[in-house]
Amino acid sequence: MQKILIVDDNGLFRKALREGLHSQLPSLIISEAKNGEEALQTILTFLPDLIFMDIQLPDRNGLELTQLIKGLYPDIKVVVLTSYDLPEYRDAAFHYKADHCISKNSFMPLLPLILSEGPDG
């Protein structure tokens, strides 16, 4: 079973993403965090395979949090989500060790591709 962590301060977006993921792959185990501190605590107990990380969080920079997570847990895949599909954001995401960087407006059709790169994919 693949475990996913959604880190985003927007509750409606987390809910939409959770429902979208479950509609595509009902067997996923999904947890959520609304900020960076909650994400770090959740990772300790939940140990996800994949994290969807918002760039802008209320208490932390999502890029710096991504780099911290990848340093501590290099096997966890991190997909950075941004509202702005700009080359600078993509470059920054990869600089901070993200595995993918995707616009929130366009990534739902890409979910099967991202999820297929999991531990068994």
Give the CATH number of the domain where residue 7 resides.
Answer: 3.40.50.2300
Place of tokens 């994400």: 39
At 41, phi and psi to the nearest 5? -65, -40
**94 assigned to some structural domain:** yes
Total domains present in the chain:
1
> According to the model, what pLDDT value does residue 69 have?
98
> According to the model, what pLDDT value does residue 117 have?
58
**Domain membership of residue 45 as a residue range:** 3-115
**107 assigned to some structural domain:** yes
> According to the model, what pLDDT value does residue 109 have?
58
**120 assigned to some structural domain:** no
At 9, phi and psi to the nearest 5? -80, -10
**88 assigned to some structural domain:** yes
**8 assigned to some structural domain:** yes
Q: Are residues 15 and 70 in contact, defined by beta-carbon separation less than 8 angstroms?
A: no
Mean pLDDT of the chain: 89
- Amino acid type, 31: S
**13 assigned to some structural domain:** yes
**17 assigned to some structural domain:** yes
* Coil, strand or helix at 63: helix
**55 assigned to some structural domain:** yes
> According to the model, what pLDDT value does residue 119 have?
44
List of residues 6+ apart from 74 with CB closer than 8 A: none
> According to the model, what pLDDT value does residue 107 have?
60
Q: Indicate the pTM of the whole model.
A: 0.88
pLDDT < 50 positions in the chain: 118-121
